[in-house]
Amino acid sequence: MGTTSNRRKRLVVLVSGSGSNLQAIIDACADEQLPAEVVAVVSNKPDVFALQRADASGVPAVHMGVHPGEERSDYDARLADVVAGFDPDLVVLAGWMRILTMSFLGWFPQRVVNLHPALPGELPGTDAIARAWDEAVGGTRTQSGVMVHLVPDEGVDDGPVLGTAIVPIDVQAGFDAFAALVHQAEHRLLVDTLGDLCSTSPSPATSPALSEVSA
């Protein structure tokens, strides 16, 4: 895994929803902007549009639901098994809305990358875009942003930062305009950061320099 410098990096992308970030990755791979290929897409939710996007691009699309009463660690061990079967250089959490335990993360040290629609240390968890907006409307915030970071452990939206981008909030323009800017920033930052990681050899996510990259 990840020991050959010139081959395209193998990405497994974990999703839970629409998959617009997945699409940005697939498109960037297709137009050679990203020296990588998406070798599988795994969703914890059935029937999400992200799985259709994978299908449409000829990428294996796997739904892995949680069994009734299944312990989180057991699900994560099953998930690790499935993901490891695709031999990824990187595992990309692109709209993956489920906390991962060490039962999964322990199998992919320095190789799990998360995207979060807020700046480091701000607004961890769900609905970060809406919470940033509410704070802006309340007069306590003028900007938010997006970040891409490594996932070393079970901390939520926390870990060594690989890249960030600031998104200003214009309350006159409305929430939808702000959300659209955040999503644009996510797509760009995710592709750029993966580009940095995938161009680094031999083991992309372990270079100390990458923790200093900032968009």
**Residues of the shown chain interacting with ligand GRF in the complex, contacts defined by CB under 6 A:** 15, 17-22, 50, 94-95, 115-117, 186
Strand partners, 114: 93, 149
Cα distance between residue 154 and residue 135, in whole Å = 27
CB of 195 to ligand GRF, least distance (A): 17
CB of 97 to ligand GRF, least distance (A): 6
Q: Which is nearer to ligand GRF, 2 or 187 (CB)?
A: 187
Report yes or no: 145 and 185 within 8 Å, Cβ to Cβ.
yes
Q: Which is nearer to ligand GRF, 106 or 125 (CB)?
A: 125
Of 63, 67, 116, 183, which is the active-site residue?
116
Q: Which is nearer to ligand GRF, 121 or 202 (CB)?
A: 121
Which single residue brings its beta carbon nearest to ligand GRF? 95
Q: What are phi and psi of 103, to 5 degrees?
A: -60, -30
Sequence letter at residue 137 = V
Q: Which is nearer to ligand GRF, 79 or 185 (CB)?
A: 185
CB of 10 to ligand GRF, least distance (A): 20
Q: What residues have CB less than 8 Å from 68, skipping those under 6 apart?
A: none
Report yes or no: 12 and 39 within 8 Å, Cβ to Cβ.
yes
Q: Is 183 a catalytic residue?
A: no
Strand partners, 152: none
> Nearest CA to 91 among 208, 1, 182?
1
Which residues are catalytic, by number? 116
